[in-house]
Amino acid sequence: MAARDAGRGRLSYGFMPEHRASDTQPAGRSPLEGLIVLDFSHALAGPYCTMLMAQYGARVYKIEPPEGDLARTWGPPFIETATGEHAAFFLGLNAGKRGVMIDLKKPEGLALALDLIERADVLIENMRPGTMKRLGLGYDAARARNPRLVYCSISGYGQNGPRRDDPALDLVLQASSGLISMTGAGKDAERVRCGHSVADISAGMFGLIGILLALNARERTGEGQFVDVSMFDGMLSAMASNFANLMGAGRPPEPMGTAFPTIVPYRGFRASDREVVIAVATDKLWASFCPAIGKPEWRDDPNYATNRLRVQNRGSLEPAIAELFLTRTAAEWESCLGAAGIPCSTVRELDEVAADPQTAWRGMLEDVGGFRVTGRPVKLSKSGGGEKRDPAPALGQHTGASLGDLLGLDAPALHALEVNGIINGD
């Protein structure tokens, strides 16, 4: 049972494992150790990309304007930390980053940013196309100062094409990419957005892929390059199988709830207490599934013996399964189907996932400054997992220290910049 920690505004889920994945992570250098990343991004797509980079050892400097990343305001919930009150959304995406505040609209701020670019390996931004150029920080200006720089721009529709300048947020891209057209309980039911920001997260992952590709190319050529990542492109790529079916069938797919157009049974069914999903994806699994649910006669039924037949006759098979599943609890179905090797799961709430021993064993919820954030999704056998991360920074928390480390600015120089409103004090 989840309990709220007094004075913390957060939930604690009780389970503390004897071992975590981090306990057995190798002690070697982190794979991105020594990489200097200037993060001009905001909201979700860019910060998710740099969150992953920080998790694997990169030194990520989060460059924010005086008003801060807009995600700082995306709450409730708001969480009280050692550096003040922050939106939980922001805390979850920005752990391990160094906070730097610079007013880029002032000439001195622009000069500082260009000086930082000279010392960086990677720059990432997710403003509308053309915004960084108008600030004087476009790719051409950055490359002139640092030809080795890998410069990644994440945008809604990319840096060219007729929709280049269209405003875009995750919900809009879920719609414009076609995802929402396939998501819902049925053709005549309300279409729904995916429960997490899949367009943003996909763009963040493709951003990281693009950056790593460009860094690998730099090892051969000695030169950086521009990385153009589009949320639209990423969604289409992620839906490769859906577009393959479109090209093959010649008609767009319709929403089917949890069901799948080419596999039966592969969907959720209501048990006596809650929903459970099953994935009987092969005829071999079907042969095990039928006796497990007490219907051995279905295995060789001429209407259901192969997946092709089951797809053709889903109209009779799925209702029969639905009626049967109401006779037991979800836990009972999960137990008997699991014993038979059938992929299945109760449809769980996020607090149940947080309390799952598997989550803890894999180190996927990590305590950072008293707030639990998601852990490293990729485990490497020889590279270290990165240093223990600090909590997400307060606005400009590390400005002076970072400018001192990277640019060698001393206290009088930093004070002058602070007095003139170019930076804030630490």
Residue 192: closest CA among 173, 177, 171, 210: 171
91, with CB counted inside 10 A (0-12, 13-18, 19+), is buried
Number of neighbours of residue 158 by Cβ within 10 angstroms? 17
Tokens representing 390 are: 């600090």
**Eight-state DSSP code of residue 191:** B
Are 171 and 192 spatial neighbours (Cβ–Cβ below 8 Å)?
no
Q: Is 200 marked active-site?
A: yes
Q: CA-to-CA distance for 235 and 238, rounded, in angstroms?
A: 5
The backbone torsions φ and ψ at residue 44, rounded to the nearest 5 degrees and listed phi first, read: -130, -50
C-beta atoms surrounding 384 within 10 Å? 16
Q: Compute the residue count for the chain.
A: 426
3-state secondary structure of 420: coil
Q: Which residues pair with 39 in a beta bridge?
A: 62, 124
Q: Active-site residue among 39, 69, 121, 200?
A: 200
Q: Which residues are catalytic?
A: 200
